[in-house]
Chain A
Amino acid sequence: DAGVIQSPRHEVTEMGQEVTLRCKPISGHNSLFWYRQTMMRGLELLIYFNNNVPIDDSGMPEDRFSAKMPNASFSTLKIQPSEPRDSAVYFCASSPGGADTQYFGPGTRLTVL
Chain B
Amino acid sequence: GENVEQHPSTLSVQEGDSAVIKCTYSDSASNYFPWYKQELGKGPQLIIDIRSNVGEKKDQRIAVTLNKTAKHFSLHITETQPEDSAVYFCAASDGGSQGNLIFGKGTKLSVKP
Contact = CB atoms under 8 A, between A and B. Distances in A.
B99 interface: yes
B32 A106 contact: no
Interface in B30-86: 31-32, 34, 36, 42-46, 49
Contacts of B97: 55-56
Interface residues on B, range: 20 to 34
Interface residues of A, number: 24
B22 interface: no
Contacts of B43: 4, 91, 93, 104-107
Interface in A29-67: 31, 33, 42-43, 45, 48, 50, 55-56
A75 interface: no
Contacts of A107: 42-43
Given A42-B106, A50-B99, A55-B98, A104 B45 contact: yes
B93 interface: yes
Interface in A46-97: 48, 50, 55-56, 91, 93, 95, 97
A101 B34 contact: yes
Contacts of A13: none
Nearest to A44: B103
Contacts of B103: 42-43, 45
Interface in B79-111: 89, 93, 97-101, 103, 105-106
9 contacts: A43-B44, A43-B89, A43-B103, A45-B100, A95-B99, A101-B46, A102-B34, A104-B45, A106-B42
Given A48-B100, A50-B99, 16 more contacts: A31-B98, A33-B100, A42-B105, A43-B106, A48-B99, A55-B97, A55-B98, A56-B100, A91-B43, A99-B31, A99-B93, A99-B99, A100-B32, A101-B49, A103-B46, A107-B42
